[in-house]
Structure 1
Amino acid sequence: MQTKKMLYCPMMGKPEPSPDTAAAWREQHRRAWVFNPWTGRKRLSLAIEHDPDGWLLIPPDDTRTEESERRLLMELRASGALGQFRRFGWIGTLDVPQLIVRLRKGQQAFSFRLADPADEERYYELLHVEAWRFATQ
């Protein structure tokens, strides 16, 4: 996904971005994607907040594969779970390209590689424990 040439700058919305591929642009600029680089439309503030790097944007006429659908679902679930962890007092980040979640609360720090089924299971088990602890306080 996101292999089609970008037509607009994700940060400024101007035509002919440099570089013109999503991966190269992210690596070089490391800025929030305020505009959809394939349509030129400005993104909603909430969309930028939840997906600042534009990983969930899909170029027009891009075909999704079963693998890309699975990865997108994994990203969305992990992001939603991360929001719940924040409600429970955790500080966390999701590295979307690598599918790695890092959590910290007090002296505790965890890292989960969601592409590893065992690590993914540990991530959601910890969420379950935290939700139970929060509900029974």
Structure 2
Amino acid sequence: MEIIIRNRIKIDQQEEMVKEIYQGEFKKVNLQTLLKYENAANEKVLLKIDEDEVIMTRFAKRPIKMHFQPEGTTLTEYEGLGELSLFTNTLSIDQERKIIKINYQLSQGAQKIADYHLRIDWTEEAKGRKNG
């Protein structure tokens, strides 16, 4: 399966667009969708997608876990930066169309680091197959 990640990152007045395409794995467990792939830094990444939350775990030297919840603030630990707060402005999960849109902001204390506009699309390799 293919996972396409588009991320528009805004730091102060500078903006950068990143588009990455990875081969990955898709699994449905109960009501949760799991996407696994390896990123450009050779870190395994796991996305757990529920109806109203996305959890992204990057398995770096010290794993980084990011919880995206609608209009909610969560904490994450980044190696070298320490504890960061992650505020999810908007979270849109469309499992039918296989699209996730997350607008979020990372901050360290009162200092904003960056704004992110993340979009994740995926295709299931089991397309056309019928269960049972």
TM (normalized to structure 2)? 0.28
Report which structure shows greater RCO (CA 8 Å, sep ≥6): 2
Of Structure 1 and Structure 2, the greater strand share is in 2
TM (normalized to structure 1)? 0.27
Bigger-Rg structure (1/2): 1
